[in-house]
Structure 1
């Protein structure tokens, strides 16, 4: 049955490509934020035939918001394209994604790496973050209902909020901005974001973060695309768990603070991370949106505390970081 659904989805995607003129003839790079490991600088992005950037305006109409949000999913990906940064090259996969592993730069902070597509003259710049040598810890945070009000714990509310808003209207929690600013300590401690939102939202989320003055950091989003070799990606927990593993492996000397909410499965994901990375998780911080944690999540939170890991949870983050000794 899954194979039949996979083939049907591929047929439907082909029809949509024709309807919207997605020909794959152009070449442009959609840059994602890269990150550093002890030896390397990982540059990430996606090759598309074209990019249409939406510029939201104050008082924008509801239908304009919906049209702009839907357009984020009408990407025309280009596979098997050679992408280069200096002497290093990589080939885009079935969904256009690429990753370049370069030698690590010695200078800490933000870097802009020039990336080109073989046979095309235009250059793109892909940002990447190298943590400071004096970092005390790293922060890994969820996005939906942790940083941004989404209502992800209720499907219809999540869809309505996601489709009808724009980068100017989406609400970033003021207490999240304050806490992340203090935890970052003016860039001393690196911040990473892990979300089940699709990579199509990367630029959109960056717009929201910039508008709200939320600390910038590499994002680990989810590939929801359909290809010859892929139909359904891993679960919410699989994606977040593997992303946490990648971030911790890239920063082996730093303890981590995990920030999320009780509306989905963050508590269980973080409990599993504590088990896999003994001694690495400094604290877990959970926002309690909507009705708060149910009995199952409460039980998971008790298990987190039983590991000896510090757990802080409340309906909001106001004043939490100094009380928790996180800054």
Structure 2
């Protein structure tokens, strides 16, 4: 009952905000996300908005400008019940403007894109997607905040300050994370997926950070924090991350998997549960230990992971992780070679 009242109040507040910020639903533009593949389909993803609010950062801009740009990313004017098309495939946007287009799987592998449009004659939008190479040996599913990107998510105030006063040029990625992902990707041979509790509003922002820091890019599975008539926000951090990992594992049924995360938001517990559900799929877990490091709960969860026999690592950086993986699984990780592949 109390949750329903809050839900109704939040919906009314959102409608007032729509009027204040001229969010009318007029206009049609596609905001594309990186898609992915299953054994049978290529999955294109994105969102239809009345206009894009993404602003590129410039050197030396102030924290106030950063804050204004960041807030703008959350003032999206999404458009529901719009039909998007790619070839013979079509999909209808949901209440928050999201769409998923399902294309038949073909022989292509690697990074590609398809033209997606809303109306005939409209300039199409390129929606990118990733199909694992036929010779991929494993895949990586990684968290972003405090695993790849220095955020301070373990502290709410620090997280908010870092997130809203920085920009895509000032935000820092751990140097060891860049080196590790380059080694594990092997120039694109092994696919990388990212799962985060960050909202979809930050997709382009995160993509810019990845591009600026040369961190290996891959399909992201973020959270919808929007309101609708039928839902009030979305699942919590753990349930969202666990469900997303399950989905990625089903999409890649033949690939052994490395899970990367951090102890700041108790990823050890989430990964312990994933191993219980998919005990034949997870070959290694790597956890960064930001902030105060490992607490009693993390220690219990790491002990539970150890009891399963899955190789695991927890430490302040990932410098030695590639070496440890090579020692545990020499058949899968000749990580000494970082040569790029076509």
Q: Which TM-score tier does this pair reach, normalised by the shorter chain? A: over 0.9
CA offset digits 1:34-59 (Å, max 9, x no partner): 00101100000000000023121111
CA offset digits 1:206-265 (Å, max 9, x no partner): 000000000010000000000111113111111101110111111100000000001102
Pairing 1:205-244 to 2, within 5 Å after superposition: 205-244=206-245
Aligned to 2:284: 283
SS at match of 1:324: helix
Aligned to 2:170: 169
Shift of 1:313: 1.1
Aligned to 1:84: 85
Q: Distance in 1 between matches of 2:4 and 2:292?
A: 39
SS at match of 1:313: strand
CA offset digits 1:274-302 (Å, max 9, x no partner): 01112100100000101101111111011
Pairing 1:256-275 to 2, within 5 Å after superposition: 256-275=257-276
| Residues 48, 76 of structure 1: 8 Å contact kept | yes
Unaligned runs of 5+ in 2: 327-332, 336-342
| Residues 84, 118 of structure 2: 8 Å contact kept | yes
| Residues 131, 188 of structure 1: 8 Å contact kept | yes
The Cα RMSD (Å) is 0.9
Q: TM-score, normalised by structure 2?
A: 0.94
Q: Distance in 2 between matches of 1:53 and 1:280?
A: 38
CA offset digits 1:108-157 (Å, max 9, x no partner): 11111100113661211100001000000000000000000000000000
SS at match of 1:274: helix
Unaligned runs of 5+ in 1: none
| Residues 153, 264 of structure 1: 8 Å contact kept | yes
| Residues 282, 309 of structure 1: 8 Å contact kept | yes
Pairing 1:8-87 to 2, within 5 Å after superposition: 8-87=9-88
- Greater shift, 92-101 or 113-122, is seen at 113-122
| Residues 138, 255 of structure 1: 8 Å contact kept | yes
Shift of 1:28: 0.3
Q: Distance in 2 between matches of 1:249 and 1:8?
A: 38
| Residues 263, 292 of structure 1: 8 Å contact kept | yes
